[in-house]
Amino acid sequence: MNVKLLKLLCKNARYTVHELSVMTGLSEDDVKSQVSEMEKEGLIRGYKAVIDWERLDSAMVSAIIELKVEPQPDVGFEQIAEQVKKYPEVETVYLMSGGYDLCVIVKGKTFQEVAMFVAKQLAPMKYVVSTATHFILRRYKELDIELIGDNKDDREKISF
């Protein structure tokens, strides 16, 4: 496992094998084999694009749902988390410390759709004690990538 390689992929999964090789000092063959090894082992779970959906007319909406759950003997929160994550509407599920138990990020076409999903699917689930829905209104930064504002380089164009 090469941490440098992981950091680079984390920053930009579309670097070519050649670029990764040059930047890490590994041979191209090593880059290829290490990446596929990490994929096989499940260390790397996938690659995705970060998209500014707001630029589209058919923008998606997302909400963060705070789920309070009654933990079950032996399995704790695992079972309910397993159930929640199966819904295609559910993008993210985290077990949380603090005021609630599961953080669920849900996406849908409209606020209505997301709200209905919560009301009809999540809230009535056995052992779910309560839900609180927080809609995401604006995304400034996601996965280290800024979605709003241009980071202008305010340095001189040339200096000694």
Partner 1 sequence: MDYMKLLNPTVVDIKPSGIRKFFDIAAEMDDVISLGVGEPDFQTPWHIRQAGIKSLQDGKTKYTSNWGILELRKAVSDYMKAEIGCEYDPKSEVLISVGGSEAIDAAVRAIVGYGDEVLIVQPSFVCYEPIVRLAGGVPVIISTKVENEFRLTAEELKSHITDRTKLLILPYPGNPTGAIMEREDLEAVAEALRGTSIAVISDEIYSELTYTGNRHVSIASLDGMRERTVVINGFSKTYSMTGWRLGFACGPEPILTQMTKIHQFAIMSAPTTSQYAAIEALKNGRPDIEAMVEEYDMRRRLMVDGFNALGLECFEPKGAFYAFPSIKSTGLSSEEFCERLLYSKKVAIVPGNAFGESGEGHVRASYCYSVDHIKEAIRRIGEFLEDIKNEG
Q: Considering beta carbons, is residue 27 or 110 the nearer one to partner 1? A: 27
Please tell me the total number of residues recorded for the chain in this structure. Answer: 160
In the bound state with partner 1, the residue whose beta carbon lies nearer, of 56 and 158, is 158
CB nearer to partner 1: pick between 22 and 95: 22
Nearer to partner 1, 48 or 157 (CB): 157
Beta carbons of 5 and 35 less than 8 angstroms apart: yes
- Least Å from the CB of residue 50 to partner 1: 14
Chain centroid offset of residue 128 CA = 23
Q: Can you tell me the distance from the alpha carbon of 25 to that of 45, in angstroms, rounded to the nearest whole number?
A: 24
Shortest approach of partner 1 to residue 155 CB, angstroms?
5
Rule CB under 8 A: which residues touch partner 1?
Answer: 4, 8, 12, 15, 19, 22-25, 153, 155-160
Q: Which residues pair with 104 in a beta bridge?
A: 65, 93
Count CB neighbours of 113 within 10 A: 15
Q: How far is the CB of 157 from partner 1 (least distance, A)?
A: 4
